[in-house]
Amino acid sequence: MKTALIAGASGLIGKELVQKLISSDQYRRIYVLSRKKSGLVHEKITELVIDFDQIDQLKFDEPIDDLFCTLGTTIKQAGSRDNFMKVDYQYIIEFAKLGKRIGATKFLVISAMGANSKSSVFYNQVKGMTEEALKSIGFSRLVILRPSLLLGERPEPRFGEQIASFFMKALNFLIPDNFKAIKAEKVADNMLRMATDSAEGISIVESGEMIRN
């Protein structure tokens, strides 16, 4: 059985993923990195409350097999472009470098539909830059998942997403798979499925593929 390390467990996808990791017979220990105590309690769970600016100082007493990164914010939540860049680029890259240093061979990360380092849209540009930086770190297996609009219960509802979700559901039959809203649980399902397969190399999984699997 394997060990997992997850950053972003309090988010929409992260919460779903943690429950699936707990239920999986593939994992015996799940390390969860948090900025504050999450209340997660299970015999498989070891929660580490950390300052993400000092993530490079973390040490583990056992090998870590798979890293899961569901970190992410919005410019509105972050308060500025610089803070957004810190969470969606710096923290993710530092987390990946930590994983490489402690011997993890698989890194699975949530990106976004439209990620492109050359995009004129700042959000998509940063997501693309993060993807490119991750590719250069050298994991045996790198899985980048690009979901569309996420469906699920957020602790802090986003009004714009709620409106978009309503219309996307109503017009679902007209929308191409890659642009359809997708349940956070479905994304977590795909993340776990790809973590437990035997493939190697880099895979980019678009939202439509996740919906169909």
Report the alpha-carbon distance of residue 213 to residue 205 in Å, rounded: 11
Domain boundaries, the chain: 2-208
* Helix, strand or coil, per DSSP, at residue 144: strand
- Residue 156, C-beta contacts closer than 8 angstroms, at least 6 positions apart: none
Distance of CA 183 to the CA centre of its chain: 14
The helix or strand, by DSSP H or E, that contains position 12, with its residue range, turns out to be: helix 12-23
Residue spans of alpha helices (H) in 70-183: 75-78, 81-85, 92-101, 122-135, 159-170
Report the alpha-carbon distance of residue 211 to residue 198 in Å, rounded: 21
Strand ordering across the sheet containing 27-34: 45-49, 27-34, 2-7, 66-69, 106-110, 141-146, 201-206
Per-residue pLDDT in tens (0 to 9) along the chain, 213 residues: 999 999 999 999 999 999 999 999 999 999 999 998 888 889 999 999 999 999 999 999 899 999 999 999 988 999 999 999 999 999 999 999 999 999 999 999 999 999 999 999 999 999 999 999 999 999 999 999 999 989 876 555 554 555 545 545 555 555 666 778 899 999 999 999 999 999 999 999 999 999 998
Residues 136-152: b if buried by 16+ CB within 10 A, e if exposed: eeebebbbbbbbbbbbb
The whole-number pLDDT of residue 84 equals 96
The whole-number pLDDT of residue 159 equals 47
The whole-number pLDDT of residue 199 equals 94
Residue spans of alpha helices (H) in 109-204: 122-135, 159-170, 184-195
Domain spanning 2-208: CATH 3.40.50.720: yes
Amino acid at 135: K
The whole-number pLDDT of residue 196 equals 94
